[in-house]
Amino acid sequence: MTNPTDFNLWSHDICNSVASFLDQHLPSAQLPPQRLHEAMRYATLQGGKRVRPLLCFAAGELSQAPASSLTVVACSVELIHAYSLVHDDLPAMDNDVLRRGKPTCHIQFGEAVAILTGDVLQTQAFEWLSDPSFFPNQPERQLELVHQLSYASGAQGMAGGQALDLESTQQPVSLAQIKSMHFKKTGALIRASLLMGAACGDPLPVEQQRALCDFAEALGLAFQVVDDCLDAEMDTATLGKTAGKDAAANKATTVGIMGLSKAKGFAQELHAAARQALAVLGPRAARLEDLTHFIINRRS
Amino acid sequence: MTNPTDFNLWSHDICNSVASFLDQHLPSAQLPPQRLHEAMRYATLQGGKRVRPLLCFAAGELSQAPASSLTVVACSVELIHAYSLVHDDLPAMDNDVLRRGKPTCHIQFGEAVAILTGDVLQTQAFEWLSDPSFFPNQPERQLELVHQLSYASGAQGMAGGQALDLESTQQPVSLAQIKSMHFKKTGALIRASLLMGAACGDPLPVEQQRALCDFAEALGLAFQVVDDCLDAEMDTATLGKTAGKDAAANKATTVGIMGLSKAKGFAQELHAAARQALAVLGPRAARLEDLTHFIINRRS
């Protein structure tokens, strides 16, 4: 691990680059349709931990990827994440009123605008990734990035996981089913952040590519297990979103099926598995190691 | 114009190719998440006029584009269209219960599944367009297609037009504003169908490219003006969707601002403008001419 000050500076710089790119390239709230543009900015520029952009940049260190490409990729992944939050918070889905300590998008702008906002945030991600001016003379790389992100976000990935989550409230589910849901709902986009970040640089040797996939799998699941634990034990003010809602909504979670203490142990096991995969990746994986520590030990 | 039997056979074949590709390549309703997959199929395989796929194939004749590429492009555009219908029909948007003579997606599957269905239909479009197995060794062409479709669908295109449409019910609007809204809401995807179809083949000479854009602009607006007229004068059974809902929802339409008779005249003017643009494109534009006639004179 690098020292904490160094890690904080590194992540602070990336969060600034991401916010600055989003601010500069999202449509202006002065231009029509103003409310839609305003809502797109509201859903993406109100903070958030920027975990996926950080993962993208950290994986980019493995392949010595240029920051210019990583910024576009990180912002595109962040748009997909933001769209999923806007839609998941809708009354027909998780019906939540609070996100990052602020009113959710539909509370602030109304449901119709919130639905459209999620829709166009998704579209904007693919528009950026396919914009040749952001990746001069690299059509094959861009195409691969579009394909990775679309696969990770769709019916076989993030949105499919959300559908499984909805179904899970209506029937008893096994740990294997919860894992499969988490792999899709959270894991797919985390995996894509890592693989897309690495894909912005030199090709990785096959054994490193495989280790990165193993790492992604362990980290994606760990992220969601920690999320389950935080929802069960933290208060709303600390989380910046409604706490205890998994149990209230009868959601299938690792805490629900194995209890809080065992779920915490499971997160530690996954942390160990993630570190084991990182060992194969050598010294360039230092940022990924820091980030893993940060994700496992976060308090919100 | 070609003879009507020939046109009917041509369009029938294309509709079959599109339905067959969708059926083959959309995720199976036997695999989890089953309800989501079932809803994706429900929203795309229940008929519809397939206007955008037909436009795509007709424009492909200008550049002698291969049917294999046109099928993927046509189906991707159709997915974007289908996603927009699923979301537009939601209670928070147009709140409609009937589409193509059947219950709308949220009536059939519930709102949560309908929101996710629209989301993943959009994602699936970009996944297909970026799949290298569908366009062997053509990464630049694929990237251009992804970029065209994303631009046409997002905040500057179709979804932005829907946002303007929502805003229009709350304030008086001018004909210029209605035109701008229609250009985005309906025109952008019609234009993309045409340009993407042509982009699957040999590059068009500059003057033909320009004529195709002029044609797209006239046809896109004409399509929506005819839609406004049909909504005002037809009954629900004929349309297969709720009639008279523009006036009921206080929607800004050309009929609302100029009256039915003048709106019909406006559609005829646009038809003339479209035919004028087609004249530049020569005999290969015969299918586009047929289609324009079909679109202007349709009764549902």
Give the pLDDT confidence of A202-261 residue by residue, as tens digits: 999 999 999 999 999 999 999 999 999 998 888 777 767 777 777 777 788 899 889 999
Of the partner residues B120, B142, B151, the one whose CB lies closest to the CB of residue A127:
B151
Q: How far A230 CA sits from the closest chain B CA (Å)?
A: 25
Of the partner residues B35, B36, B139, the one whose CB lies closest to the CB of residue A139:
B139
pLDDT at A1: 64
CA A160 to chain CA mean position, Å: 15
Q: Which residue of B has its CA nearest to A136?
A: B140
On the CB side of A143, how many CA atoms lie within 13 Å of its CA?
A: 22
CATH code, domain with A190: 1.10.600.10
Q: Verify whether the Cβ–Cβ distance B33 to A122 is below 8 Å.
A: no
Q: Verify whether the Cβ–Cβ distance B147 to A163 is below 8 Å.
A: no
Work out the pLDDT band at B170, boundaries 50, 70, 90. confident
The closest alpha carbon to B75, from B131, B18, B129, B36, belongs to B18
In a domain, B297, yes or no: no
pLDDT at B252: 82
Residue A149's SS3 state is helix
What lies within 8 Å, CB to CB, of A181 at 6+ separation is A161, A164, A165, A168, A173, A252
Q: Which amino acid is at B220?
A: G
Cα–Cα dist A57/A53, whole Å:
6
Enclosing domain of residue A268: 4-297
pTM: 0.96
Of the partner residues B32, B127, B155, the one whose CB lies closest to the CB of residue A124:
B155
Q: How many CB contacts within 8 angstroms connect chain A with chain B?
A: 148
Q: Verify whether the Cβ–Cβ distance B33 to A167 is below 8 Å.
A: yes
pLDDT per residue as tens digits for the range B64-114? 999 999 999 999 999 999 999 999 999 999 999 999 889 999 999 999 999
**Total structural domains within chain B:** 1
Specify whether the CB–CB gap between A118 and A88 falls below 8 A: no
Work out the pLDDT band at B234, boundaries 50, 70, 90. confident
Q: Which H, E and C letters describe B101-170, residue by residue? A: CEECHHHHHCHHHHHHHHHHHHHHHHHHHCCHHHCCCCHHHHHHHHHHHHHHHCCCCHHHHHHHHHHHCC
Residue A204 DSSP one-character state: P
In a domain, B299, yes or no: no
Which range among A23-32, A34-43, A239-248 shows the weakest confidence by mean pLDDT? Answer: A239-248
Of the partner residues B35, B37, B167, the one whose CB lies closest to the CB of residue A33:
B167
A110 at the B interface (CB within 8 A)? yes
